[in-house]
């Protein structure tokens, strides 16, 4: 059993609802992610951008609560019923939300019928490049698959996740992965390389504005090819870091950090590179943007003055700036 499965907590035994129907509950951790390495390699034949990326889930994220009520005997012909509530009043809870889209996709793929209420405790900022919506979608898929008796195997679950979004399949893994294609081709980072990342303390911070991923990719496409890194070059750069495991002292995670989307984003959102330069000059930190932003992160050392760093971030970006101290899973 993988670590992700351990993060699904099902009720020990079903309770009875008000109508006497069996009710079961589940609680699923839905982690944020950071892109430690992100190379955009160009446009693919299908119109999507190709990429090579090292992505890692972190110990910070949302929590999805699931309440399932079995339908009464003879109600098998009814369609599945899904509702969603959220503690963030600004987050849409209609059919545009990926949790409900994932639930509908699961029901269509499996023919499963039931009544499920999702309640989302939202902590991951939106439009941040931290994968919150994709993570929530996969949490819903995993919960429903468990409730339904696991009708989907790992391969079919990954296919369904990829249909929901490019970032979704990575959340089916419990550690650092390498993403390729448009993001649907995912494999675990080799164990020794992953060990250099797991447990690393990381500070994630986001300004008061978000950045549209669609805008960032459109801007890159309009300015080709100067923002792209050829796939062969991206693979060579990644391989150099991974294969350094053979060295007596392999390079740290800091030497892996790269984000090819920064050039197009920084040209418009000057607050990002300005702050990251300050963090490097004043604290010696290597900081990068995650995904298409606007969230950024920096890897911390055991003696990093987190309080001082946080204060400096909020001094430059405002007192309401989102900041969280977490670690790579």
Whether the per-residue pLDDT at 159 is higher than 50: the answer is yes
Of 62, 122, 167, 219, which one is the catalytic site residue? 167
**pLDDT score recorded for residue 73:** 52
- Token pair, residue 256, equals 């892996």
Nearest in space to 243 (alpha carbons), one of 168, 235, 61: 235
Domains within the chain, CATH numbers bracketed: 3-190 (3.30.230.10), 194-327 (3.30.70.890)
> What whole-number distance in Å separates Cα of residue 249 and Cα of residue 269?
37
Cβ count near 307 (within 10 Å): 9
24-50 pLDDT, tens digit each = 899 999 999 999 999 999 888 887 899
Cβ within 8 Å of residue 274, ≥6 positions away: 316
Cβ within 8 Å of residue 319, ≥6 positions away: none
74-116 pLDDT, tens digit each = 555 567 899 999 999 999 999 999 999 999 999 999 999 889 9
Of 33, 122, 206, 219, which one is the catalytic site residue? 33
186-242 pLDDT, tens digit each = 999 999 999 999 999 999 999 999 999 999 999 988 886 778 999 999 999 999 999
265-312 pLDDT, tens digit each = 999 999 999 999 999 999 999 999 999 999 999 999 999 999 999 999
> What whole-number distance in Å separates Cα of residue 139 and Cα of residue 148?
14
**pLDDT score recorded for residue 6:** 43
- Token pair, residue 87, equals 């503690």
**pLDDT score recorded for residue 13:** 42
**pLDDT score recorded for residue 72:** 57
Nearest in space to 255 (alpha carbons), one of 37, 47, 76, 67: 37
Annotated active-site residue 167? The verdict is yes
Query: What DSSP element (H or E) covers 326?
Result: strand 322-327
Average pLDDT for the chain: 91
Contacts for 318-322 with beta carbons within 8 Å, 24 or more apart?
A: 318/207, 318/208, 320/208, 321/205, 321/206, 321/207, 321/208, 322/125, 322/204, 322/205, 322/206, 322/295
Ramachandran category for residue 291: left, alpha or beta (phi over 0 → left; psi -120 to 50 → alpha): left
Annotated active-site residue 7? The verdict is no
* Centroid of chain to Cα 279: 24
């Amino acid at each position: 059993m993988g670590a992700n499965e351990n993060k699904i907590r099902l009720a020990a035994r079903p309770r009875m609802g008000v109508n006497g129907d069996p009710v079961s509950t589940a609680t699923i951790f839905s982690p944020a992610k950071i892109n430690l390495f992100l190379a955009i390699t160009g446009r693919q034949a299908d119109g999507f951008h190709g990429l090579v990326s090292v992505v890692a889930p972190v110990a910070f994220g949302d929590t999805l609560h699931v309440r399932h009520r079995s339908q009464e005997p003879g109600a098998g012909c009814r369609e599945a019923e899904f509702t969603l509530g959220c503690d963030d009043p600004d987050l849409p809870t209609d059919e545009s939300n990926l949790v409900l889209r994932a639930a509908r996709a699961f029901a269509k793929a499996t023919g499963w019928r039931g009544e499920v209420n999702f309640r989302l405790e939202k902590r991951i900022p939106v439009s941040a490049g931290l994968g919150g919506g994709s993570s929530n979608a996969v949490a819903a898929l995993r919960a429903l698959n468990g409730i339904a008796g696991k009708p989907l195997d790992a391969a079919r679950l990954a296919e369904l996740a990829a249909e929901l979004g490019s970032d979704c399949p990575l959340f089916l893994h419990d550690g650092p992965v390498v993403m390729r294609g448009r993001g649907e081709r995912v494999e675990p980072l080799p164990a020794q390389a992953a060990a250099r990342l797991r447990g690393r303390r990381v500070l994630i911070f986001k300004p008061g504005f978000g950045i549209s991923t669609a805008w960032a990719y459109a801007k890159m496409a309009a300015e080709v090819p100067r923002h792209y890194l050829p796939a062969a070059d991206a693979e060579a750069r990644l391989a150099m870091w991974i294969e350094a495991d053979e060295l007596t002292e392999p390079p740290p995670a800091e030497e892996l950090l790269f984000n090819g989307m920064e050039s197009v984003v920084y040209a418009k959102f000057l607050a990002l590179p300005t702050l990251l330069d300050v963090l490097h000059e004043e604290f010696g930190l290597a900081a990068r943007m995650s995904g298409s932003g606007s969230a950024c992160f920096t890897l911390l050392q055991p003696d990093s003055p987190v309080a001082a760093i946080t204060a400096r971030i909020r001094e430059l970006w405002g007192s309401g700036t989102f900041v969280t101290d977490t670690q790579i899973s």
